[in-house]
Chain A
């Protein structure tokens, strides 16, 4: 039989596994086992064995995001940031854990509108990010993109997209470019539990798996799509299983632990780089702040938020590890102070640098002249 010829005698998979009729029971057929093999691999070493320097770096990077976002929230309150502003507070371990595992010379990243943290994870100057939030000429998009639309092609960071789910298909295209150019790179495409219900996400998963594109789909499950809890919007809340229909292996990861996220990234990236096609990682995480600044927070209790802050905070957890490994409170205070200074400088810069030249209104609409 030549490839692609339909096999009409094929037995439907469901008919061969009558014993698996209980949908809640985890299946163990060989096919499905393959789809879970990465989880098994992840379970073998759930937390990344980081060096003291790496752990310190993770801590500093997460803390920078936290302090930056707190300041952004403050500037929004002062009216210096307009429009929509979605903060990443609580989710820091996801961006840092994953992006620290990238090969920045080859790999690309794309995400939705909650994008400040992903930019900071690259070490991009907080000044130009904050200046974009305040809509200034010095902003990374010359003030024309704003909070949701930031890009750094220099770092292969492709935004910063405001239409929920669109970045997933675009990420598929970035992955196609990696494959086409045979450059060894992969695309890390982030989306939320809300975007996970968009049709184009599955169109993309289908093609990505069909063509074995080098892409890692990451669901940042922060438990709420705006104000709608996952259980109220999703029939399947185990998002890591959402790729199963497309034969994309899924991984379930504690997104509040930077070392676990990093360990998962190692497993997933290897699979993709070996040419085995896409992986879907579900990072369970939690945003402490509202969906955007104008969030009345009526859909969850204050206690729920406080519990996450008190018992599951990724930065506090890393702080404990650092203290256990010989750092002193004074060391960490000094780090916090330095980061606060960096963020203050970024805020001052963003507040005091000029707005775009009026002529910028007409630039960058088209590249060519016609």
Chain B
């Protein structure tokens, strides 16, 4: 059967080209791999290579012809036992029936307008703490360690890897004691090679394990962000749901104290912008423990952002056998009716401090701890806004393209009718964090700034 030779597309964007030159003539024998013609595009001259064996029949597009659409039949190729001179050109040019990117098969255009299905609603509130449960006073550091230890006891596949996590007992002592209990197979000291060990952790998760990859700080994870975003977050989607990547990337995030610009950055907004990731940033011990346990059990890759300045703070934590909290659920840490303050991580502490000061002045602020940055608990934010009609976001991080920006967009898109004042954000100054004590203090958020913003949205002097 005669084969139609069609004008090829030689790049992802090519729609037409110039048939610069025929290197074979009618009647020539063609072998696979022979260059039949040269095609010119605006970018380059390329060779049109034969795939099939045969004899070149009619040349339908003369050399020198410009603007030949991709898919146009340019010549006919006679197969074995056919007479090349007998072959007729196809009746009509199928140029407008180019089988490009599936245009000719499958679905109608109108099928394409769909909206994502809302996830089936399921109870997402925190589990009830049984009456009479003893409350222990525990630091965030210990809560995180206990979460890992409990999950490692529960599931053999869970292990920790990172710089100084084993013999040194953790650069910030979060993994203290784990080596003694679980041994070097499950508590692995890595060299200082974030890109490499983030990749190894991700690959181990793909291979069926449940790695906890500790970054000494998330500033160093920038060396590894390719694996977090391109390897861990996207592979399940790209594989049509075949690949799993249940890895937890965890470590301190945000400004510490006087460590300068390169060691002081909040990556919450970076990771929260990536579909395929779960991003958690807890504040107190109970949330740190309950959410880290949930993160380790999660089938999806989790970025778990801690805060060095909060590690040593102590909070009450219910003494339960298995304290696991829901991912994707914000928590109202203080109820109030006049204004909503949304925050996360260390910002929650400043917000609570601000709320106390405001209460002294007769303003009752509701404080929401987002806890999970992706997926964002939109309902809790909007319900609170509907109640208070005023909202401020407090975020220890830069203002531009931040979680604050996202919450403001949410309020505009879905809470506009409830707003009695513009939503304001209280963020760090938009500069690299300075070292000098006074400048650092000027750059970071604090309770007085939150108080000022709240008064502004309440139209109080």
Contacts and interface: CB of A to CB of B under 8 A. Distances in A.
B168 interface: no
Nearest to A177: B207
B190 A297 contact: no
A35 interface: no
Nearest to B13: A294
B119 A370 contact: yes
Interface string B202-232: 1111111101000000000000001100110
Given A296-B44, A297-B47, 19 more contacts: A77-B8, A78-B99, A80-B101, A141-B242, A149-B239, A159-B243, A160-B238, A169-B196, A169-B198, A173-B205, A177-B204, A177-B207, A202-B196, A203-B196, A207-B190, A365-B275, A370-B327, A370-B372, A370-B375
A144 interface: yes
Interface in B81-136: 98-102, 105-107, 111-112, 114, 116-117, 119-120, 122, 124
A245 to B, nearest CB: 13
A173 B46 contact: no
Could you say which interface size class chain A belongs to? 35 or more
B203 A296 contact: no
B332 interface: no
Nearest to A366: B300
Interface string A267-295: 00000000000000000000010000111
A190 to B, nearest CB: 14
Contact of B203 (A70, A171, A211): A171
B61 to A, nearest CB: 15
A361 B114 contact: yes
A364 B204 contact: no
Nearest to B241: A364
Interface string B1-41: 00000101111101000000000000000001101000000
9 contacts: A135-B101, A151-B242, A169-B198, A174-B207, A176-B200, A177-B207, A177-B208, A204-B196, A296-B43
A108 interface: yes
B159 interface: yes
B216 to A, nearest CB: 16
Given A135-B102, A166-B199, A309-B33, A293 B10 contact: yes
A295 B101 CA distance: 20
Given A166-B230, A203-B195, A368-B298, A134 B102 contact: yes
A270 B227 CA distance: 31
Contact of B191 (A136, A178, A207, A362): A207
Nearest to B104: A351
Contacts of B98: 78-79
A160 B12 CA distance: 19
B193 A354 contact: no
Nearest to B115: A362
B376 to A, nearest CB: 10
The list of the 5 closest CB pairs from A to B, nearest first, reads: A173-B203, A169-B199, A203-B196, A77-B8, A177-B207
Contacts of A354: 105-107
A108 B375 CA distance: 33
B71 interface: yes
Contacts of B202: 169-170, 173
A203 B193 contact: yes
Contacts of B106: 136, 354-355
Nearest to B243: A151
A175 B196 CA distance: 13
Interface string A130-157: 0000111001111111000111110000
Given A200-B196, A370-B278, A364 B236 contact: yes
B270 interface: no
B195 A199 contact: yes
B333 interface: no
Interface in A312-370: 351-355, 358-359, 361-370
Nearest to A136: B102
Interface in A15-38: none
Interface string B283-314: 00000000000000011100000000000000
B185 interface: yes
A364 B231 contact: no
A222 B45 CA distance: 23
B334 to A, nearest CB: 24
B99 A169 contact: no
B197 interface: yes
A163 interface: yes
B326 interface: yes
A109 B71 CA distance: 37
A297 B49 CA distance: 12
B244 interface: yes
B11 A293 contact: yes
A161 interface: yes
B252 interface: no
B54 interface: no
Contact of A200 (B43, B195, B238, B372): B195
Contacts of B76: none
Contacts of B435: none
B193 A207 contact: yes
Nearest to B10: A294
Contacts of A296: 43-46
Contacts of A297: 46-47
B300 A141 contact: no
B204 A174 contact: yes
B122 A169 contact: no
B191 A368 contact: no
B21 to A, nearest CB: 14
Nearest to A137: B106
A194 interface: no
Contacts of B197: 169, 203, 207
A142 B240 contact: yes
B209 A70 contact: no
B207 A206 contact: no
Contacts of B45: 296
B328 interface: yes
